[in-house]
């Protein structure tokens, strides 16, 4: 069956008789990334053929149906940048089509949101959302998570490299919204868009997700081991956890061109030539990693830079959070907690210029936005206590 044949919003659904978690899978929120839909179809077909018992519910959705049919990242606007609180607030509660105006992605967002909300309303346990992507560059599969202990725990069931702080670099992505709706979320980048190996990686991720969420036992999934081993092999010698320290944004006028040959995660040396734009050369400021180099015409992230995070630092931050040491952050001069939103800090950069961002990263504050002389530093809603 051709990849894009008969793409519909609901790729498939299995609602088990026994209550349990709800696992929502979204594939193709970028329409040039059919791998997530392909992987979901394969998993659904096997669950059906082998009568694998499912607890709770598995719901597989196509993200941007119109763009998937056209094989484009999006038609008018990136559907994975529209999930800001302002826009989501305008979505009709019941998902019914409103007056028909708006661009194609506004319709996609309404329908996708309605399908997700229906699943949440019928959930009989915890809700998980796995958002499946592929990249323009070749490379190994990896996961992105919001930096909370709940998310780290779910991600630990997948032998993928995990990048912290990448999600928080961009506003309006689906998983940010879903985290605020109480879901545990995971974004996976499976590899290059059209490489069938990427689709196999995404399929492996879905089998592991069913077991990690608790929809099926690992024993009921005959080749759970093989899927785990496949992803572990793909990781090779990369660090298990990495973090983003820098985003290079690009606009259409920049004439941004990434240098050829970077994989979706690659080690770089200080001063290495990364890209060119109309201002000239763009070089790495330090040794580290480059993530998600842009090799396609549509997109506004040129690349991200980051570094490995040691197991020790991961443990230290988990301990610090369990002890709720973040309560001390507002005692630092120039740091104030937002009175309305406790997961947000206001940092006066006149006073607090010298704090290393590591202090905030330790507690999961990875979303940093400059607002005049102030920094707004935010994190995903805090872990349940």
Site for Zn ion contains 193 (CB under 5 A): no
Q: Which of 12, 14, 24, 30 binds Zn ion (CB under 5 A)?
A: 30
Least distance from Zn ion to the Cβ atom of residue 96, Å = 28
Q: In terms of CB distance, is 209 or 352 closer to Zn ion?
A: 209
Q: In terms of CB distance, is 33 or 203 closer to Zn ion?
A: 33
| Contacts of Zn ion in 121-150 (CB under 5 A) | 133
Q: Enter the tokens of residue 305.
A: 């830079």
Q: Stretches 5-13, 33-41, 285-293, 298-306: which one binds Zn ion (CB under 5 A)?
A: 33-41
Least distance from Zn ion to the Cβ atom of residue 352, Å = 35
Least distance from Zn ion to the Cβ atom of residue 32, Å = 8
Least distance from Zn ion to the Cβ atom of residue 180, Å = 20
Provide the H-helix boundaries in the chain.
35-49, 65-70, 85-90, 104-121, 149-155, 174-180, 196-213, 224-235, 311-322, 349-352, 358-361
Residue whose entry in the numeric block shows the structure tokens 């490299």? 161
Q: In terms of CB distance, is 150 or 193 closer to Zn ion?
A: 193
Least distance from Zn ion to the Cβ atom of residue 73, Å = 7
Binding mask 39-68 for Zn ion (x = CB under 5 A): ------------------------------
CA gap 174, 225 in Å, rounded: 30
Q: In terms of CB distance, is 32 or 113 closer to Zn ion?
A: 32
Pairing of strands 184-192, 142-145: antiparallel
Angle, helices 196-213/224-235, rounded to nearest 10 degrees? 120
Q: In terms of CB distance, is 160 or 345 closer to Zn ion?
A: 160
Least distance from Zn ion to the Cβ atom of residue 30, Å = 4
CA gap 302, 291 in Å, rounded: 9
Binding residues for Zn ion, rule CB under 5 A, total: 3
Provide the H-helix boundaries in 263-310.
none
Q: In terms of CB distance, is 302 or 364 closer to Zn ion?
A: 302
Pairing of strands 57-62, 10-15: antiparallel
Site for Zn ion contains 380 (CB under 5 A): no
Q: Stretches 31-39, 97-105, 174-182, 314-322: which one binds Zn ion (CB under 5 A)?
A: 31-39
CA gap 159, 127 in Å, rounded: 21
Least distance from Zn ion to the Cβ atom of residue 66, Å = 16
Angle, helices 196-213/35-49, rounded to nearest 10 degrees? 60
Which uninterrupted H or E stretch holds 334? none
Q: In terms of CB distance, is 39 or 216 closer to Zn ion?
A: 39
Least distance from Zn ion to the Cβ atom of residue 7, Å = 16
CA gap 153, 338 in Å, rounded: 28
Site for Zn ion contains 110 (CB under 5 A): no
CA dihedral 134, 135, 139, 140 (to 10 degrees): -30
Q: In terms of CB distance, is 27 or 159 closer to Zn ion?
A: 27
Q: Are 385 and 345 in contact (CB under 8 A)?
A: no
Least distance from Zn ion to the Cβ atom of residue 208, Å = 20
CA gap 367, 376 in Å, rounded: 8
Q: In terms of CB distance, is 131 or 343 closer to Zn ion?
A: 131
Kindly list the residues in this chain that would bind Zn ion in the complex (CB under 5 A).
30, 33, 133
């Amino acid at each position: 069956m051709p990849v894009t044949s008969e793409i519909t919003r609901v790729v498939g659904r299995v609602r088990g008789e026994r209550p349990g978690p709800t696992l929502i899978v979204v594939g193709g929120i970028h329409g040039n990334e059919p791998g997530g839909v392909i992987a979901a179809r394969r998993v659904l077909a096997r669950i059906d053929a082998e009568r694998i018992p499912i607890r709770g519910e598995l719901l597989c959705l196509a993200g941007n149906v119109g763009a998937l049919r056209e094989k484009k990242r999006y038609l008018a606007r990136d559907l994975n940048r529209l999930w800001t609180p302002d826009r989501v607030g305008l979505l009709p509660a019941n998902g019914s089509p409103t007056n028909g105006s708006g661009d194609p992605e506004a319709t996609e967002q309404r329908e996708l949101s309605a399908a997700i909300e229906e699943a949440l309303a019928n959930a009989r346990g915890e809700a998980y959302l796995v958002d499946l992507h592929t990249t323009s560059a070749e490379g190994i599969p990896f996961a992105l998570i919001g930096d909370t202990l709940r998310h780290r725990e779910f991600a630990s069931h997948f032998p993928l490299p995990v990048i912290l702080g990448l999600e928080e670099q961009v506003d309006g992505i689906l998983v940010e919204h879903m985290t605020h709706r109480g879901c545990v979320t995971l974004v996976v980048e499976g590899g290059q868009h059209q490489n069938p190996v990427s689709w196999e990686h995404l399929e492996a991720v879905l089998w592991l997700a069913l077991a990690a969420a608790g929809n099926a036992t690992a024993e009921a999934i005959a080749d759970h081991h093989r899927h785990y081993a496949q992803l572990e092999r793909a990781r090779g010698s990369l660090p298990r956890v990495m973090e983003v320290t820098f985003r290079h944004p690009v606009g259409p006028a920049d004439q941004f061109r990434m240098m050829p040959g970077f994989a979706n995660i690659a080690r770089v040396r200080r001063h290495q030539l990364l890209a060119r734009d109309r201002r000239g050369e763009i070089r790495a400021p330090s040794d580290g990693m480059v993530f998600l180099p842009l090799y396609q015409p549509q997109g506004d992230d040129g690349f991200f830079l980051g570094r490995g995070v040691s197991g020790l630092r991961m443990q230290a931050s988990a301990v610090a959070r369990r002890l709720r040491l973040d309560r001390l952050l507002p005692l630092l001069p120039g740091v104030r907690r937002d009175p309305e939103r406790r997961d947000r800090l206001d940092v006066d950069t006149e006073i607090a210029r010298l704090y290393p961002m590591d202090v905030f990263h330790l507690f999961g504050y990875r979303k940093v936005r400059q607002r005049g002389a102030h920094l707004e530093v935010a994190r995903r809603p805090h872990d349940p206590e």
